Chains A and B, each alone.
Chain A
Amino acid sequence: MDREPPVAEIEPTSSMAMTEQKVSYTMDSSLETIDSAEEKATRIAAELGFGEDEVMQISMAVREGAVNAVLHGNAYAPDKKVTLAFERTAEDFIITIRDQGPGMDLSKIPNPLAPENLLKTSGRGIFLMRSFMDVVEIRPSKAGTELKLIKHVHGPTAGGKEASQ
């Protein structure tokens, strides 16, 4: 018996622009997945009617989330997958990214705006996600980390908003 769950590789179409829709992808832990996640987010956000700036914000946030899942979560492990889901509800565009890594330690995320961290070469991904999205939820567990990125469909844009770290 095949123990793998069915992969919902449904190409999002204009039906995503209708009321409540969801599409999900199961992807390898590779650099290609990061580019692919970004491309999918860009395409779907544009189809949902977000403006150019918001599409860019969503696209960048999803890219950062995918980077975290592939690099820091699954550490490029070929046997570990990244699950990416896009969901359109009446009020929100919700992107969920799950990895199968050891679970992110939220206490070890530094504030990249602190003077002592400004010249660090990493550690800005979550900050950027929080800057670009209306809600960022991170749920680490021993089975992996679940990241939820939410952009309100009819709410104020997140442009220029300071992160709430």
Chain B
Amino acid sequence: MTMKVGSRQVDGVTIVDCSGRITLGEGSVVLRDTVRDLLSKGNKKIILNLQDVNYIDSSGIGELVSAFTTTKNQGGELKLLNLTKKVNDLLQITKLYTVFDVKDDETSAVKSFK
């Protein structure tokens, strides 16, 4: 299953609902293009909802890092929401859990933006 994304606005925050696989190739490209498109349109408060992402490889992890740093470098903030156990475990062993702001509740995630 390839990756699919859909975005919606909640109180000035863009929530990107991702599903499928973030892996080398199409999945990584979709995520990259989505975040760049949002930033180019001035949407700098971004939540990636990864609830339905069931697989991610090292390229996908790299793409998450890239999305995080690109957003930050443009004065924005990118947070992660609703990690599956597999993705959560990956972020733990790669120590990226300490880098990302990870949320498990959409309402509080939206409110957490300054």
| Chain B residues near A160 (CB-CB < 8 A) | 93
A interface residues, how many (CB within 8 angstroms):
23
A67 to chain B, nearest CB (A): 6
Alpha-carbon gap, A34 to B57, bound state (A): 11
Query: How many Å lie between the Cα of A131 and that of B92 in the bound state?
Result: 12
Q: Which of B's residues lie within 8 Å of A, judged by CB?
A: 23-25, 57-59, 61-63, 65-66, 68-69, 86, 90, 93-96, 98-99
Chain A nearest Cβ from B21, distance in angstroms: 10
CB < 8 Å: which of A113, A121, A163 contacts B66?
Answer: A121
A138 to chain B, nearest CB (A): 16
User: With a CB–CB cut-off of 8 A, which chain A residues contact B65?
Assistant: 119-121
CA distance A63 to B57 in the complex (A): 8
Smallest distance from the beta carbon of B54 to chain A beta carbons, Å?
A: 10
Segment among A12-20, A90-98, A122-130 that sits at the interface with chain B: A122-130
From A34, A60, A124, give the contact of B94 (CB < 8 A): A124
Chain A contacts with B in 62-116, Cβ cutoff 8 A: 63-64, 67, 71, 112-113
| A residues less than 8 Å from B90 (CB atoms) | 128
Interface string of A28-58 (1 = CB under 8 A from B): 0001001000000000000000000000100
A143 at the interface (CB under 8 A from B): no
In the complex, the answer to whether B24 meets A131 with C-beta atoms within 8 Å is: no
**Residues of chain A with a CB closer than 8 A to B69's CB:** 119
B99 and A125 contacting across the interface, CB-CB below 8 Å? no
Chain A residues contacting B24 (CB-CB under 8 Å) are 31, 34, 67, 71
